[in-house]
Structure 1
Amino acid sequence: MVLNPAPARELSDELLALVDIITPNETEAEKLTGIRVENDDDAAKAANALHKKVSVPLLLRWVAAASG
């Protein structure tokens, strides 16, 4: 099962156990991990933490704003 966890909310361990792939954006990843995502490093930390929690492939939908 592919899970897009929108809208951002806490998900039960029972549901996460059924997931084959998860595709959160930064807000959803923050809700699932407790890690605030404000930059690329935060996104990587949240992705790693979520991967440890669900042990399935994930695609973190994160868009970093360019400066300059």
Structure 2
Amino acid sequence: MSGRGVWQRARARFRRFPSLLAACGEQAAAYGRCVAAAGPAELRRDACLEEFRALRDCFVRAAKATPQ
């Protein structure tokens, strides 16, 4: 039994990441601003949940819209 197929699929997903990130630049920037504003010492779980969910939803929409 080989894990080759798993790694090929993972690499394919990683290759698509830059284009997905480019499609979600506004959401990524908002999430980054939220994390940066909290600072490393003050960042708490769910502090930027709204921004993270917006970024995640954008990634899902972009992934569905682009061919594999």
For the superposition of Structure 1 and Structure 2, which TM-score range results when normalised by the shorter chain? 0.3 to 0.5
Question: Quick check: which one's helix share is greater?
Answer: 2
> Per residue, is there more strand in 1 or in 2?
1
Q: TM-score, normalised by structure 2?
A: 0.37
Larger radius of gyration: 2
TM-score normalised by structure 1 residue count: 0.37
Relative contact order, higher structure (CA 8 A, sep 6+) = 2
